[in-house]
Structure 1
Amino acid sequence: MVHDLDDVDRGILHALQANARNATAADIAHMVGTSASTVRNRIEYLEEGVIRGYHPELDYREAGFELHLFIVCRAPTAKRTELAERALELPGVINVREMTTGGHNIHIELVAVDSDAADEARAGIENLTDLEIVSTQIIKDLHTQPFNHFGADVVQD
């Protein structure tokens, strides 16, 4: 189901992306020019499909995971979803993306405490039948921001 988002919805989404942990309904209401009860109702509605969860942004290095890897793989199209789900179950894997175009159609993000653990994680991926590792890179840092089409223009700071 596709949600038809208005300016209030987009403003709420922008505020939640920027600071979901500390933004109260009253704070968001002030930013988007509506009431706190409207914000709570809209969030409840958005949680039925648009908002998939609230996740902390982690510094894996600070948590003891020295290596943060990005692994590009190739899988047969018919088995792509199954292999992505199986890869997600492997130790250290934190994110798996399925691509719809190109031969490099599974991207895996994983963390490891050291190179031995990273090698074990890569071996787990290599042991998945029909999943071929194309390349592995070490992620230095990750930079994110709220998607600016979700209400940056309607939010009053």
Structure 2
Amino acid sequence: MVDRLDEVDKRILYRLVRDARNTSAPTVADEVNVSAGTIRNRIDQLESDGVIRGYHAHVDYERAEGRLTNLVVGTARIDERERLAKQIAEVPGVVNVRQLMCGTGNIHVTTVGEDAQELSRVTRDVSEVGLEVEDEHLLQHEEHRPYHAFGPEGRREGQSIADFMSLSGGAEVVEVSVARGAEIDGLTLREANERGLVAPEVLVVSVERDERILTPKGNTEIRADDLVTLFARGGLSEETVAAFRGD
């Protein structure tokens, strides 16, 4: 199953991949203009959905007592690939296993050892599991970076985030965070309708506040940092979205 991510989810993933240890919910919340409670709730959901599979230290094994890191490239039958990958991951000395969508060289195994002799032993153990070893390479260095499309590039500092999804027939669903000082900040939905900020054809589907999902009613007050989902059959005007974003 492919999970659809909105812009808040993407920014959370970007920051966690960039530096999970020093990323806090309030830090991300300030950046995307929602509450820290919302960020914590989103992280819990991303973990539950399997999008975030864990948090790991990026270790330089050469600096850890001069250990060597080796990349083993091997081939497994397509119908055996997943089973073999799981078995290989249990071999002592194996620190990473990747499955590739190709015919040959479809499993990459990263191994660590004190010296060349130990690396050879690990490769032999991997081969005995059933992997046909094609090649080996000593790794010198590896860089990790967050996916740039999930980051803040191209956005103004402090800009509220809106996520658009177009539906058939010109309908749109928009998820927008309410900026502090926006026209709708502090108004009830009834007051917003009376002032023309939310047109009659626009449906407020939900309001996410901290760790709660509110069912919108006429007396529901919209507050800064709320994450509001809007629906309109004929599409949403820029003026309506701006009333929430404070543009």
TM-score (ref. length: structure 2): 0.60
Number of aligned positions between the proteins: 156
Alignment of 1:87-126 (within 5 A): 87-126=88-127
**Which residue number in structure 1 is paired with residue 65 of structure 2?**
64
- Judging changes above 3 Å, is the alpha-carbon distance between structure 1 residues 155 and 3 closer, same or farther for their aligned structure 2 residues? farther
**Which residue number in structure 2 is paired with residue 128 of structure 1?**
129
Shift of 1:150: 1.5
Alignment of 1:1-150 (within 5 A): 1-48=1-48, 49-64=50-65, 66-129=67-130, 131-150=131-150
RMSD of aligned residue pairs (Cα, Å): 1.7
Q: Separation in 2 of the partners of 1:135 and 1:40?
A: 44
- Aligned to 2:69, what secondary structure does the other structure show? strand
Q: Separation in 1 of the partners of 2:89 and 2:56?
A: 17
Alpha carbons 2:8, 2:32 under 8 Å: kept: yes
- Judging changes above 3 Å, is the alpha-carbon distance between structure 1 residues 52 and 155 closer, same or farther for their aligned structure 2 residues? farther
> What residue ranges of structure 1 are gaps of 5+ in the alignment?
none
Q: After superposition, what is the alpha-carbon deviation per residue over 1:42-92, rounded to whole angstroms, capped at 9, x for unaligned?
A: 111111121111111111112225210111101122211121111111111
Bigger fraction of residues in strand: 2
Give the AA of the match of 2:41: N
Bigger fraction of residues in helix: 1
Q: Separation in 2 of the partners of 1:12 and 1:40?
A: 10
Q: Separation in 1 of the partners of 2:11 and 2:46?
A: 12
Q: After superposition, what is the alpha-carbon deviation per residue over 1:115-134, rounded to whole angstroms, capped at 9, x for unaligned?
A: 111111111122223x2110
Give the AA of the match of 1:26: P
- Aligned to 1:149, what secondary structure does the other structure show? helix
